[in-house]
Amino acid sequence: MKGFSRPLLRSAVFVAVAASLSCAGLTPAQSAPAISSASPAFREVTDETGRAVRVPQPVNRIVSLAPSLTETVYALGLQDRLVGDTVYCDYPADAQKKTKVGDTINPSLEQIAVLHPDLVLVTKGLNHLETVQSLENLGISSYATDPHSVNEISSSTRKLADILGAPEAGASVAREMERHLADLQKRLAASPSKRVLFVVWHQPLISVGKHTFIADALRLAGAISIVDSEQDWPHVSLEEIARLQPDFLVFAASHSESVPSTVEALAILPSWGMLEAVNNRRYAVISDAVNRPAPRIISAIEDLARQLHPDAFAEKPESGKGKMEKEITPRNQASFAQSFFLLAGLRKDSANCGGRVCAR
């Protein structure tokens, strides 16, 4: 329990999601089967933080306190049981219609109680321990997830589905994730990994540590982060990045309309011209799904793999007259600039979030 986020880590960055499950060929599970009325009143389980939880049976009313958990509930086909979520839960679009209980850091306990949830879903890396304790004091059960790799996201989805009484839906979603990953690894087997810098924040420059699920997603996409840090969200110097010279810069996209629309702006920012990847415009922009430990992360992994290793996705010629590559739509330069400058524009709030991406 002590690993939950503390109050000093305030939410500062939240970027809208661009891609959908269909980008990766993933589809939400069908509506989950009804839970038998003969089920016991409570089920004793252990959540992913090692905490013992008494889960009311059946679980018919769910409140989600993290965008990733809201996405997972929808992927499992359990959205009809979701009675509330946070203001940051924007995907899929229907999630925005759910009753809002505040943000992820300071949700309204009063609003949650009014919804009479059977179970509140939280995630260790984003929600506060104090929130969990307060819910417990109100007699409201909460279940915490804590995945640190893409495989753990898959297994976490299975576990959560079982807790919610829909094990078949969880198994189906997890199998689909694993199938896509297996196919991707076959495609990339002969492709050397690209050395990349994943930019979480602009100033100060923040990337991802090697034990995060984002770093694991990069590896599965045929990339390796040049930042070798034990910290989850390390601050790195641009001078050190210039010494290491990544092959590509990787950004999560945004749809903000208030930021500059040209990628050329990056090259004229102080010190960024030291990077060959900037001067040669070698960058990749992927869905913000990469920031959320939910099944849809597969779409972001596949998108990044296509951008870094287009040859691995070349289609075989139909007539046998030679190789014919499948056309890959280039990344829109405006989207790249939007992502970059949104990070730059919000840097004044970075101290409130500890430099972390709080969209999970």
- Whose tokens are 């779409």? That residue is 299
Average pLDDT, the chain: 80
Residue 133, pLDDT score = 95
Percentages of the chain per state (helix, strand, coil), in multiples of 5: 40, 15, 50
Is the distance from CB of 106 to CB of 88 less than 8 angstroms?
Answer: no
What share of the chain has pLDDT > 70, as a percent?
73
Domain boundaries, the chain: 42-170, 191-349
| pTM of the complete model | 0.78
To the question of domain 191-349 being in CATH 3.40.50.1980, the answer is: yes
Quote the CA–CA distance of 341 and 280 in Å, as a whole number: 19
Residue 272 pLDDT level (bands cut at 50, 70, 90): confident
94: DSSP letter: G
Residue type at 307 in one-letter notation: Q
Residue 252, pLDDT score = 87
Q: DSSP H helical segments within 19-108, as ranges?
A: 67-75
The string of pLDDT tens digits covering residues 34-49 is 444 444 599 999 999 9
Supply angle C-alpha 26, 84, 139, rounded to 5: 120
Residue 17, pLDDT score = 31
Is the distance from CB of 79 to CB of 64 less than 8 angstroms?
Answer: no
211: DSSP letter: T
Residue 253, pLDDT score = 79
Residue 279, pLDDT score = 86
Quote the CA–CA distance of 324 and 130 in Å, as a whole number: 57
Buried/exposed code over 333-344 (b: 16+ C-beta within 10 A; e: otherwise)? bebbbbbbbbbb
Residue 100 pLDDT level (bands cut at 50, 70, 90): very high
CA atoms within 13 A on the CB side of 94: 12
Supply angle C-alpha 260, 263, 269, rounded to 5: 85
Domain 42-170 class, CATH top level: alpha beta
Quote the CA–CA distance of 78 and 94 in Å, as a whole number: 12
The string of pLDDT tens digits covering residues 216-226 is 999 999 999 99
- Determine the average pLDDT of the residues in 248-266: 59
Residue 79, pLDDT score = 98
Residue 325 sits at φ, ψ, to 5 deg, of -75, 145
Quote the CA–CA distance of 65 and 69 in Å, as a whole number: 7
